[in-house]
Structure 1
Amino acid sequence: MKKLYLKLFSFLFLAGIFPFHSLCQDYVNWNVAEKYTADSLSGHYRSSLLATWIPDTHHFYYAIEKKGARRFYLVDATKGKKKLLFDNKRLAEDISRLTQTEYTPEKLKIYRLDFYNKDLSKFYIRKDNKNFEYNVNTGKIKIVSTVPEVKKKSTGSGFPAILGKKSWEKYSKDNKFYIYGRDHNLYLSHKDTLEDIQLTTDGEPYFSYTSNSSEKRDTACCYTLARWIDDTHIIFAFREDKRAIKTMTLVNSLANPRPTTDTYKMPMPGDSGVSQYDIALFNADTQEKIPVSIAKYPDQKVDISYSSTPGYVFFTRRSRPADYIDLCRLDIHTGKVEELISEHCAPHMNIQLFKYHLINDGKEIIWWSERNGKGQYFLYDNNGNLKNAITPPDMVAGTIMKLDTLNRTIIVEGYGREKGINPHYRFFYKVNLDGKGFTLLTPGNGTHSIDLSPDGKYLIDNYSRMDMPTVSQLIKIASPKKNTVLEESDDSELRELGWKPPVLFQIKAADDSTDLYGIMYLPFNLDTTRLYPIITNVYPGPQDDQIPRAFTVDDNYNQSLAQLGFVVINVGSRGSSQIRGRDFHCFGYGNLRDYPLADDKHAIETLARRYRFIDLDRVGIYGHSGGGFQTVAAMLTYPDFYKVGIAASGNHDNNLYIQWWGETYHGIKSHTDSITGKTFFTCKIPTNNELAKNLKGRLMLITGDVDKNVHPSTTFRLADALMKADKRFDMIVMPGMDHGVGNTYYYNLIRYYFVEHLLNPKKEHIDIIHHK
């Protein structure tokens, strides 16, 4: 990266993009930014401990690398004891002697140890195309011709395998029938008679029974999306109808020999043509179609569960504004649909966290809900009657990591319950399905990640913070207070190189009530008697604020950016996260453009009062995707406050963005025709383009030209609005780049732009002035 960095600077200087005065800033050390990137610091710190469990035992091994040499430990989880498996120096000498190749402990890279058949006295490694057997008790190693055979457990399917089976043939459980697709339709074949029966005639492009939903015709046999239900002869076909969805087009200018177009379906907020859904059932024995009616909400969203529930298929249907969701049960023999649970979610549901689980063959249902303001799991019976709450109401429950129906317990992630700790930090808890026995499994002030043992009796917990390296502990789930710390990482190697951790801070939002949490990166040679420009790296959510919680040395290159002479911050605003509860998550509803702006400005002002070395006359802002949109919105809303901005891949006009995003997070209005009864939807979201006349500072727009996520037209239309407002700005189009524009060139653009315009800004009028 360093060579590319210097070459880029030379090119931009010679091209006149970055003028000579940048070089005259003697306090800018360009090399120091490169020195403290994550790439440059790789190998000088340890992240999470990765455990490899030895099959059918309560033992695992892991490796720790220090100064190039990997040390392997074997852990007895039942006793919480670990031991070093071998001496690196001796092993390197022995393998050197056996292979006639000289190895040092640093050069001898071993990544995997193989234990066989519960035998912990020896393991096997492979090096130089040779198999080695190492005796753990004696410390001796030898070359062997073969490794032990693994004793496999019999799984007996109960039905004979089909010889010569085609890849597109999908067989019933008893192998009597198979189904396949052709010309977008569904076909049935009897294995013995080889009679082919066309079950459907309504399949077509973008409403297909096959895996190909494009405009191409499937004249040959192909894979079908339909499936057999359990061990029955009932065929279940679920289709998404995309025929009415309009298209978007991109041009790949780098394609050879000529540029090519890529046209794809993409619904936008308020579109009349959106996905519709259809369920069809067929009886293979009679070839009859069983009618199914799933309609309730106009333009509803349908998701299927294929969990093992004999005789039934479960599905959810969600209203287009995402404010109602139902759990339905479909009888596969009659086609009858029963609505078991229906929930109103105002103003909209939490799409990211919502989950449900069917247990005991569908006799019970675990259902996630925000009805109490946070996020809880509830237990229902198979008729949709509420039995009890499972998780407590004072935390946001996330993913269920383990569901033990025999012992009727779950292990679940949770947020915001541990007092005095950042509510964005993830913890894990165990609780009974009746709501009793709620227990914290992962103590420690940091954000946690776990790895469960295969039998679910133990877990490896890795937790850290941005200012604290990883602590790895072994936890016995039956008695979590008796945890064993396996490794405590340190940052000594990083500190020897001059690295320092960022500052974590907590402040109030613009309402002077809500707590916000952020990170502040400082120059390692900070002089508190000087004034430093401040740069805010933004992303507004609402599905995720993208602020790092676990330890990392240079997230998004912010730490290395700070070394050029900046204070760089990353702070979440109200509305930026789905794990802070309903009111926090839905703060931006109806205000999708402006909701994060006041909090970001208020955070900078608060920090400037707290830290006198922050210069409020030199404020920069940058971000990618939603962060690009927020960057421009902030500069145009507070044009005298934010002086320099870089906006990459920004959805500056959310009316041109993905349908569900705008409609869910901003809101959508419905209108029903009194004569036809048809419901129409409208959605109008304020855009950055409308504020173009307010630009005062220096702004760079960046987009990839083949971005399917945020179409480049959103950036181009903003550029058009700025031109019409006679505003000067910079713009970079990255050829051949999609939404992920984050390459070396991109990050160097950010560095140079802030150095040129924020460290030593020119006092000049930057608008385009018409001379008469």
Structure 2
Amino acid sequence: MHSMIGKPRLLGAVVMGLLSGGVAAQGRTLGASDYAQAERFMSYNTVPLVDHAVTEVHWLDDAHFWYVDHDANGDHFVRMDATSGKTVPLFDQAKLAAALSDAGGKPVDTKKLPVTGYEARADGRIDIAVRSKHYVCDLAAATASCVDRATLVKTGDEPGALSPDKKSEAFIRDWNLWLRDVASGEETQLTTDGVENFGYATDNAGWKHTDKAILEWSPDSKQIATFQQDQRKTGDMYLIKTRVGHPELEKWKYPLVGDKDVTMIERVIIDVAAKKVTRLQMPPDQHRSTLCDDVSCGPDGGWDDVKWAPDGRTLAFVSTSRDHKHEWFRIADARTGKVRTVFEEKVPTYYESGNGAVNWRYLPETNEAIWFSERNNWGNLYLYDLTDGKLKHAITTGEGNVTEVLKLDPKTRTVWFRGVGRTAGVNPYYQQFFKVSLDGGKPVLLTPEAADHTVTLSPDGRLFVDARSTPTAPPVTALRSADDGRTVAPIATADISRLKAAGWVPPIPFTVKARDGKTDLYGMMFKPTSFDASKKYPIVDYIYPGPQTGSVRGRSFLAARSDHQAMAELGFIVVAIDGMGTPWRSKAFHDAYFQHIEDNTLPDQVTALKQLGKAHSWIDLDRVGVWGHSGGGNATAGAMFHYPDFFKVGWAESGNHDNRNYEDDWAEKWQGLLETGKDGKTNYDAQANQSFAKNLKGRLMLVHGTMDDNVPPSNTLLVVDALIKANKDFDLLMIPNARHGYAESTPYATRRRWDYFVQYLAGNTPPKEYELKAWPWK
């Protein structure tokens, strides 16, 4: 169900329905060549055909950055001088490939170096990240060599949180926080009273449980802000691995909706040199965030709602209530632990501090804070006085959202941010880049092009790399001035001629009206490349209902969006529609089905599909399929149960079918705290899919991994139980030992999904046991 910022927790599921006699009469038999044609449009086949699509760069310092430039000859690692605009190779790829081959004992292709990180060392060697491993490489020697960094310094293998000066990293061992000297590997224990399920900096949101340390270093690397996380009363979750012999039990803390005791945190500040722990003078806080449903939203393990003063004397943080309706902005004295609540905000539905990032900021130099609020129905920035907690004025106003604050310069009192919906006539999902004065005034648009802009600022904030694209136009990447947006130097212009030559066609963006008949909804359509307007095509609706993300997933260029085009090749029209209740639009739009998770945007999906069917004679509304994963699996089953005469076939993967069997935080934010009446009925009854399983008429496949530690498989088994008791025919695929994503079983599940829609929605016969051989895992 969950996703990391930027990467949603819930994915999609597919449900399929019964065919009419007319469907069965079509009956053609597909061969392996038909599936091979579909597979040509999978991302692992299309992405390599896109040349010079540079969307991610890595700044080395204020004037240099590196990136990977791909073309028909492979990947090229490039270093650019932002002052001159000139580029040089980042390193000798042939030498590095040979050295990595020797170090890892496996051949490394010069044209496909698996390098994910680079850093130059003072001794002339370079530090290379290869996925999760690090190598120290000497390419200047007569014979280039790479050594596994872990063998140079003998340390534990716990993942560390690096200090700003890069000299130390903090990590968790035996429920306590430790310090590791990066150069020598020497380890020092910082806390001593951590015990099982009451440990320091532990990362456990129930749906996510890792060994990463959640903390925030002070700018001078002398202090650490973290917490002691109390899970001693939190309930357990259990899963059993499939194996020969006695089963292996997996057990961890997993709070559920309505639990009396959920995970709490006790905030602390640690003086690293003195190894002194100062506990903040306040009661335990909820394990919550202003942005997502975990105390840590980003994939790097940072602590988003905690910000140090530059001098390390004070610490600002925001506390969030269990139901996400109440926020408290607080400042702590780092030496004494004394806490002052400066101001607070209460909302009727749920509070969020941004769309893509936590957007509040702490300005102790002027005793001010930037606060994000949707109080005027849009996400805007406000300036608060920290002396009395009073609002000074709005920094941004009007319609459209500030999505991510990327930089704040307290000296010039300037904020740079990404935003959506702030420019008339531009797609409301396209991210643009702005700057605005803290003292108000009209924001300056730095990227006026009507496109989705991915922005990477230089460390000093003077320059930014802008990659602009749309779903139909590949990226153009340039170095630009953060002062006025002017282009300083071109970087790359993507070329999709090889992709087009392979038969690729772009998705078709479309707009329809929502359930209210007034609000615009935006979607994507995928048609077979052999499309014939004289034919009637079944339509498959890919659904991810939100509320934390939508079905379309971003508006930048992608050579493949899931397997939508691949499925279309098998004789379908495939669509993805962002319904009301998904983010990036107004607060009212996002709130559309608050406290009614069972809505799942389904009223919008149905009305949108009907509008498309009316507009296009080649769409057959008697053959409608739906599929999704996680939240989309929930929505798929809901579609089959609540609209049984409309949706004929569904494929529901890993659905959170009853959120009382899902971790507490996600549903308590969107559905509210569990309330039980005197009659035993609850405010969660209507969202439980199993209660409506008796309505099934079409063909439904339920899929789940048996070791899903995000959405436990009991969610699907509740629906299975209800279907059996209702004497309903259905299909079930349980994938042994698979997690929320299906890993090496993904090609199998994908092929089975194709088969399911081909057979039951199109009325055709799929080839027997086609194997997706080109899959990256194969």
TM norm structure 1: 0.74
- 1:82-122 deviation per Cα after TM superposition (whole angstroms, max 9, x unaligned): 68989x9xx99xxxxxxxxxxxxxx97497999999xxxxx
Question: What's 1:14 paired with?
Answer: none
Choose which of 259, 263, 267 in structure 2 pairs with 1:271.
259
**Counterparts of 2:277 and 2:497 in 1: how far apart (Å)?**
69
In 1, the alpha carbon distance for the partners of 2:633 and 2:625 equals 13
Q: Which amino acid aligns with 2:612?
A: L
Q: Percent of pairs identical after alignment? A: 32
Partner of 2:17: none
**TM superposition shift of 1:720:** 0.5
Q: Distance in 2 between matches of 1:291 and 1:132?
A: 48
Q: Does 1:723 align with 2:724?
A: yes
Q: Which moved more, 1:726-735 or 1:325-334?
A: 325-334
Partner of 2:742: 741
Deviates more, 1:382-391 or 1:20-29: 20-29
Q: For the Cα contact (< 8 Å) 1:207–1:213, is it kept in 2? A: no
Indicate the residue corresponding to 2:332 in structure 1: 330
Alpha-carbon distance between aligned partners in 2 of 1:456 and 1:287, rounded to the nearest angstrom: 35
Q: Which residue of 1 aligns with 2:768?
A: none
Q: 1:561 aligns with which of 556, 561, 567?
A: 567
* Aligned partner of 1:244 among 233, 251, 264: 233
Give the partner amino acid of 1:738.
R
Equivalent in the alignment of 1:689: 690
Relative distance call for 1:752 and 1:458 in structure 2 (3 A) is: same
Query: Structure 1 CA distance, aligned partners of 2:658 and 2:283?
Result: 32
* 1:373 to 2:377 alignment: yes
SS at match of 1:616: strand
SS in 2 for 1:39: helix
The partner residue of 1:572 within 570, 578, 585 is: 578
1:432–1:252 CA distance, 2 compared to 1 (3 A): same
**C-alpha contact (below 8 Å) 1:464/1:551 kept by paired residues:** yes
Q: CA distance change for structure 1 residues 284 and 632 in 2, over 3 Å: closer, same or farther?
A: closer
What code does the residue aligned with 1:344 have?
K
SS of residue matched to 2:717: helix
* 2:618 alignment counterpart: 613
Match of 1:349 among 351, 362, 371: 351
Correspondences of 1:181-220 after superposition (within 5 Å)? 204-209=195-200
Out of 397, 402, 410, the position equivalent to 1:405 is 410
In 1, Cα distance between equivalents of 2:600 and 2:456 = 37
CA contact (8 A) 2:658 2:688 kept: yes
The corresponding residue for 1:152 is: none
Equivalence for 1:415: 420
Cα shift at 1:183? 8.4
How many Å apart are 1:357 and its aligned residue? 1.7
**Residue pairs, 1:516-527, within 5 angstroms:** 516-527=521-532
String of CA shifts for 1:196-226, please: whole Å, max 9, x gaps.
999987x643224586999xxxxxxx99999
Q: Deviations over 1:582-612 (max 9, x none)?
A: 1111111111112411100111111111111
Contact 2:515 / 2:604 at 8 angstroms: preserved in 1? yes
- 8 Å contact from structure 1 (residues 375, 393) kept in 2: no
Aligned to 2:498: 493
How far, CA to CA, are the matches of 2:340 and 2:284 in structure 1? 12
**CA apart distance, 1:397:** 0.8
Distance in 1 of aligned mates of 2:648 and 2:65 = 54
**Letter matched to residue 409 of structure 1:** T
Matches within 5 A, 1:35-50: 35-46=40-51, 48-49=53-54
Q: Secondary structure at the match of 2:521?
A: strand
From 638, 644, 648, give the equivalent of 1:643. 648
Match of 2:458 in 1: 453
Question: How far is 1:479 from its partner?
Answer: 2.7
Query: Residues 255-270 of structure 1: matches in 2 within 5 Å?
Result: 258-270=246-258
Distance of 2:223 and 2:470 partners within structure 1: 52
SS, match of residue 606 in structure 1: helix
Tell me the equivalent position of 1:702. Answer: 703
CA deviation map 1:731-751 (0-9, x unaligned): 000111100126111110110
| 8 Å contact kept, 1:27–1:565 | no
Q: Secondary structure at the match of 2:599?
A: coil
Give the letter for the 1:246 counterpart.
G
Root mean square deviation of aligned Cα:
4.9
Equivalent residue number for residue 538 of structure 1: 543
CA distance, structure 2, for counterparts of residue 208 and residue 110 of structure 1: 41
Given the alignment of the two structures, is residue 305 of structure 1 paired with residue 296 of structure 2, yes or no?
A: no
Is the radius of gyration larger for structure 1 or structure 2? 1
* SS of alignment partner, residue 319 of structure 2: strand
Amino acid at match of 1:463: R
Q: What is aligned with 2:393?
A: 388
Superposition pairs for residues 87-102 of structure 1, below 5 Å?
none
Kindly indicate whether the alpha-carbon contact (under 8 Å) linking 1:131 and 1:145 is maintained by their aligned counterparts in 2. Answer: no
Counterpart-to-counterpart distance in 2, 1:479 and 1:226? 36
Distance 1:653 1:199, change over 3 A: closer
Residues 684 and 293 of structure 1: CA distance in aligned 2, closer, same or farther (over 3 Å):
farther
Q: Which residue number corresponds to residue 751 of structure 1?
A: 754
SS at match of 1:520: strand
8 Å contact from structure 2 (residues 241, 248) kept in 1: yes
What is the CA–CA distance in structure 2 between the aligned matches of 1:47 and 1:268, rounded to whole Å? 47
1:275 partner amino acid:
T
Greater RCO (CA < 8 Å, at least 6 residues apart): 2
Q: By how many angstroms is 1:46 displaced?
A: 3.2
CA contact (8 A) 2:624 2:649 kept: yes
One-letter amino acid of the structure 2 residue matched with residue 556 of structure 1: S
- The reply to whether residue 474 of structure 1 matches residue 474 of structure 2 is no
Tell me by how many angstroms 1:396 deviates: 0.9
SS of 2:576's partner is: strand
**Number of matched residues?**
663
Query: Partner amino acid for 1:240?
Result: Q
1:471: Cα distance to partner? 1.6
Separation (CA, whole Å) in 1 of partners of 2:605 and 2:433: 31
Displacement after TM superposition at 1:474 (Å): 2.3
| 1:358 counterpart residue number | 362
What one-letter code is carried by the residue in structure 2 that aligns with 1:655?
R
What SS does structure 1 have at the residue aligned with 2:598?
coil
- 1:56-95 paired onto structure 2 within 5 Å: 58=63, 64-68=69-73, 77=82
Task: Tell me the amino acid that sits aligned with residue 377 of structure 1.
Answer: L
From the superposition, tell whether residues 341 and 615 of structure 1 become closer, same or farther in structure 2 (CA, over 3 Å): same
Q: Is the 8 A contact 1:206 1:241 kept in 2?
A: yes
CA separation of 1:403 and 1:618: change in aligned 2, threshold 3 A: same
What secondary structure, in the 3-state scheme, does the structure 2 residue paired with 1:635 have? Answer: helix
Offset of residue 390 of structure 1 = 2.2
C-alpha distance in 1 between matches for 2:462 and 2:759: 57
SS in 2 for 1:559: helix
Shift of 1:417: 1.0
Say whether residues 1:630 and 2:630 are aligned partners. Answer: no
The letter for the 1-side match of 2:233 is A
* Alignment check: 8 A CA contact 1:46 1:470 kept: no
SS of residue paired to 2:759: helix
CA shift in 2, pair 1:260/1:468, >3 Å: same
C-alpha distance in 2, partners of 1:536/1:108?
A: 41
The whole-number CA distance in structure 2 between the counterparts of 1:572 and 1:355 is 24
Aligned-pair CA distance for 1:359 = 2.5
- TM-score (structure 2 length as normaliser): 0.74
Q: Which moved more, 1:560-569 or 1:48-57?
A: 48-57
Gaps of 5+ in 2: 1-23, 95-108, 129-135, 145-152, 165-169, 180-187, 206-210, 290-294, 296-302, 766-778
The whole-number CA distance in structure 1 between the counterparts of 2:420 and 2:482 is 19
2:448 to 426, 443, 446: 443
Shift of 1:461: 0.9
Tell me which moved more, 409-418 or 489-498: 489-498
The structure-2 alpha-carbon separation of the partners of 1:483 and 1:573, relative to structure 1 and needing over 3 Å to count, comes to farther
